[in-house]
A and B are shown apart, each in its own frame.
Chain A
Amino acid sequence: MSTTAGFAADEPAFSDLSERPDAARRRSIVAALTAALPPGAVLAEEGDLRPYECDGLSTFRELPVAVVLPSTERAVAATLGVCARLGVPVVARGAGTGLSGGAMPHAAGVVLSLARLNRILELDPAAGIARVEPGVRNLAISEAAAPFGLYYAPDPSSQIACTIGGNVAENAGGVHCLKYGLTLHNVLRVRGYTVTGEPVEFGSLALDAPGLDLLAAVIGSEGLLAIVTEVSVRLLPRPSVARVVMASFDDVGKAGDAVAAIIAAGIIPAGLEMMDRRAAVAVEPFVKAGYDLEAAAILLAESDGTSEEVDAEVARLEQLLAAAGATATAVSRSEAERLRFWSGRKNAFPAAGRISPDYYCMDGTIPRKHLGRVLAAIAALEEELGLRCMNVFHAGDGNLHPLILFDANVPGEWQRAERFGAAIVELCVALGGTITGEHGVGVEKLNSMCVQFTAAERAAFFAVKRAFDVPGLLNPGKLIPTLHRCAEYGRMRVHGGLLPFADLPRF
């Protein structure tokens, strides 16, 4: 690679193509880890490694050399010390619920599971701060804060299982992030270790810290920059009241216009979610939420705050939805009903699993105004590729989750699902959006990264990687594709006729 944009010219030491080391090398790595760590902290038998071979994206699998399960920060530092000395890649893992293969093991590396670091270290209600270890589950923070009338706002739909460490790695969102922000907006400080086992702290319990905002780089870095052993999160006062308005539309475009009308009227709902008919039909038998199965789209708009605020906002929402052509609206009358309205949206993924042997969840984000265009393109792709797709959508922030239904046992279906997904995310890029809103790049979207970013931009990402991880041992082969990989993908797209919507302007 030439020196583009002034960035240094080297490619990473470990590429995304990795090979399993020979038995002697594996033995020496396991022996060094076992010697450095307490008994029971190192797994190396194949049967013990199998549960770690993939994360929530099970189509990508790899067996690691070993899995390390530290219970203390010291053991984390010791693991990193051994791996740095022997040049062994390290893949951090939380609950393994990620949807992009970010925690898929490296064939020559170890998996560093942070699941046993699961203590809430401090909950300071006066400051509104919880200091927790990375293996603490997202929902457990809100549960611990509840007695003080506080909660942790980001609520990815996997929140009963996913860990805060994984949330930091992925910059997890949720259904309330239009109003309350992503992980990035709710984490004050992260402590951990550099690749060589040196302790490091990003951010501060104050509202800013000197120097560059390295915390912003670390959040969402998919385990490529540092290993996190402590996270301090901001707790918010739980709103006194929350109610949700559910509206039916006979046309998806009208539902999209209703979203724009709500925002233009100066309302930022706590949640603003959309489902198409196929999604509503799939979830209804499962959750019995009372969804209108005749509607082309269902919109859920949540209002929260003081009872005065919510009363005023709900009345405005009802007016705006009616004016936008809603065929029916309902307002939750109780907390139980509010949760029932939400249950279908929150259970869309499991419902997809009920109606189809397999499903492939996409995660592109678009400027909201292009929603109708993307949904039309998805319908055309269903025809073209002979696969069905159900659509759920974080409508407020433009984040689409098309769920492509397929059967991995039917030869060729996975390949078609993958093509379907690539076409959707690349359309998102063409419309000024992005290939991933909240699930991350991992291994899954490496090819799509070649479409969204130029070689010089990818070189800048490698410069960030090297600034934090000089030997390139932290989760190598994820997030940033190599120049070689992008060149290969470019050739494939041209020859395979994969390039979708070739006539669209790119910006």
Chain B
Amino acid sequence: MDAALEALRDRVLAAGHAGRRLRIRGAGTKDFLGETLQGELLDTAAFAGIVDYEPSELVLTARAGTRLSAIEALLGAHQQFLAFEPPAFGGDPTLGGIVAAGLSGPRRASAGAARDFVLGARLLSAGGECLNFGGRVMKNVAGFDVARLLCGSFGILGVIVEVSIKVLPRPAEELTLGFEMSAADAIEAFNRWSRRPLPLSATSWHDGVARVRLSGVGAAVAAARAVLGGTPIAAEVAARWWAGLRDHTHPFLAPREPLWRVSVAATAPLLGLPGAKLVEWAGALRWLRSTAAAEDVREAARRAGGSAALWHGAGRVPAFEPLPPALLAIHRRLKAGFDPHGLFNPGRLVPGL
């Protein structure tokens, strides 16, 4: 066993024997997110490195501590990329953290979420064993899809130590178009355009301007531009815009309280809440700077078919939408099955678990 992995296992076993709690951390770029951090730090950053990558197989396998920058550099050299555009939050996150948080960037609505690209994961369990789920192949229905269950688990089921992930060819060309319009008109237009065979790869609305990114072969991008109209935005300016949304370096998404992330049905009308907003994902993701009461925000999100997370400012109210009783019971039993002594990331995703 690799020394860095052995060190992680020994820490897990020792903590288990002593009845201590562990908080798992890669680069710490998402420490702000979720419920209060509890437990001793278990740093996975040292267990790093690309294990396997063959561009023609469209699969990359890497250890949990591998940095996003290293993965992107390697993929970029082969004109490939992580199509779900994992957010970096101004730092250099690890693959383990990316998968544990399960967050996706501007391409989410067209390309899919982080979990859609997870093919396999190795889990260091509470008992100190390494368990493999999924694999390095595109299609795999052997056993329950635990690898994808781990994506977005915030480490509460165990330590993700290795991940196999699907990669895709980088599009040949990209073009961003701008449109002056209201938020309501933008959401309606995004929905209409999404139902047509157009190479949309991202949409956003903020401060009176809708932006649409087209990705694909040159001829298709040019044809779509002719259909949509709008004003082309210079490539560097557009790249900065989408990176700002992806990595939350855009001032609107900066770490200031309160920031709500409201995930709703894409066709839901405006939520009717006070405060400035930024729309992504063809209307399905609405960021909100609102001092409205948490219960009002959550009720509006539920009415719109979704849920609200308090991205910055949690503590006084739960960060994530509370679960209905039937789902909470399943969560409790999953936690009890995978981590019977409550070793990992206590309360990080669901209070009390």
Q: A266 contacts the other chain (Cβ, under 8 Å)?
A: yes
Q: How far is the CA of A369 from the CA of B192 in the complex (A)?
A: 41
Contact indicator per residue, chain B 215-246, by CB within 8 Å of chain A (1) or not (0): 01111101110000000000000000000000
Q: A220 contacts the other chain (Cβ, under 8 Å)?
A: yes
Q: How far is the CA of A280 from the CA of B224 in the complex (A)?
A: 39
Q: A383 contacts the other chain (Cβ, under 8 Å)?
A: no
Contact indicator per residue, chain A 439-479, by CB within 8 Å of chain B (1) or not (0): 11100010001001110111011011111101000000001
- Which residues from chain A contact B102 at a C-beta distance below 8 Å? 208, 213
CB–CB A369/B116 < 8 A? no
Question: A305-B197, A456-B131 are known contacts. Are A208 and B263 too (CB-CB below 8 A)?
Answer: yes
- Which residues from chain B contact A171 at a C-beta distance below 8 Å? 141, 145
Contact pick for A308, options B148, B168, B217, CB 8 Å:
B217
Question: A216-B149, A367-B136 are known contacts. Are A313 and B217 too (CB-CB below 8 A)?
Answer: yes
Contact indicator per residue, chain A 7-40, by CB within 8 Å of chain B (1) or not (0): 1100000000000000000000000000000000
Stretch of A64-72, A179-187, A372-380 with 4 or more beta carbons under 8 angstroms from chain B: A179-187
Q: Which residue of A6, A394, A437 has the most chain B CB atoms within 10 A of its CB atom?
A: A6
Q: How far is the CA of A90 from the CA of B3 in the complex (A)?
A: 47
- Which residues from chain B contact A206 at a C-beta distance below 8 Å? 263-265, 284, 304-307
Contact pick for A367, options B116, B137, B338, CB 8 Å:
B137
Tally of chain B residues near chain A (CB < 8 A) = 96
CB–CB B172/A456 < 8 A? no
- Which residues from chain B contact A76 at a C-beta distance below 8 Å? none
CB–CB A204/B305 < 8 A? yes
CB–CB B331/A439 < 8 A? no
- Which residues of B in the span 37-79 have a Cβ within 8 Å of any Cβ on A? 54-59, 79
Q: A178 contacts the other chain (Cβ, under 8 Å)?
A: yes
Q: B290 contacts the other chain (Cβ, under 8 Å)?
A: no
Stretch of A124-132, A350-358, A404-412 with 4 or more beta carbons under 8 angstroms from chain B: A124-132
Q: A217 contacts the other chain (Cβ, under 8 Å)?
A: yes
Q: A260 contacts the other chain (Cβ, under 8 Å)?
A: yes
- Which residues from chain B contact A173 at a C-beta distance below 8 Å? 139
Q: A237 contacts the other chain (Cβ, under 8 Å)?
A: yes
Q: Smallest CB-CB separation from B112: which chain A residue? A: A185
CB–CB A124/B169 < 8 A? no
- Measured CB to CB, the closest approach of chain A to B246, in angstroms, equals 15
Question: A7-B127, A266-B170 are known contacts. Are A434 and B266 too (CB-CB below 8 A)?
Answer: no
- Which residues of B in the span 290-331 have a Cβ within 8 Å of any Cβ on A? 304-307, 309, 320-324, 326-327, 330-331
CB–CB B141/A177 < 8 A? no
Q: Which residue of B108, B141, B224 has the most chain A CB atoms within 10 A of its CB atom?
A: B141
Contact indicator per residue, chain A 191-225, by CB within 8 Å of chain B (1) or not (0): 00010001111101111111111101101110011
Contact pick for B139, options A128, A182, A480, CB 8 Å:
A182
Q: A421 contacts the other chain (Cβ, under 8 Å)?
A: no
- Measured CB to CB, the closest approach of chain B to A395, in angstroms, equals 11
Q: A229 contacts the other chain (Cβ, under 8 Å)?
A: no
Q: How far is the CA of A149 from the CA of B198 in the complex (A)?
A: 13
CB–CB A207/B263 < 8 A? yes
Q: How far is the CA of A432 from the CA of B327 in the complex (A)?
A: 34
Q: Smallest CB-CB separation from A398: which chain B residue? A: B137
Further contacts, 20 of them, CB under 8 A, given A126-B191, A213-B148: A6-B339, A8-B336, A200-B326, A201-B327, A204-B263, A208-B152, A212-B156, A212-B349, A217-B148, A306-B223, A308-B220, A308-B223, A367-B136, A436-B142, A437-B137, A437-B138, A437-B140, A454-B132, A457-B133, A467-B336
17 residue pairs A–B, Cβ–Cβ below 8 Å: A6-B341, A7-B127, A126-B195, A202-B327, A210-B320, A211-B320, A211-B323, A214-B149, A260-B57, A264-B55, A305-B197, A308-B219, A369-B54, A439-B141, A445-B142, A464-B149, A479-B143
Query: Which positions in A face B, CB cutoff 8 Å?
Result: 3-8, 124-128, 148-150, 170-171, 173, 177-178, 181-182, 184-185, 194, 198-202, 204-214, 216-217, 219-221, 224-225, 237-240, 260-261, 263-264, 266-268, 305-306, 308-309, 311-313, 365-369, 394, 396-399, 432-441, 445, 449, 452-454, 456-458, 460-461, 463-468, 470, 479-480
Query: Which positions in B face A, CB cutoff 8 Å?
Result: 16, 54-59, 79-80, 102, 108-109, 112-113, 115-116, 123, 125-129, 131-133, 135-146, 148-149, 151-153, 156-157, 168-170, 172, 191-192, 194-199, 216-220, 222-224, 263-267, 281, 284-285, 304-307, 309, 320-324, 326-327, 330-331, 333-334, 336-341, 349-350
The 5 closest A-B pairs by CB, nearest first: A463-B337, A206-B306, A6-B127, A266-B169, A308-B219
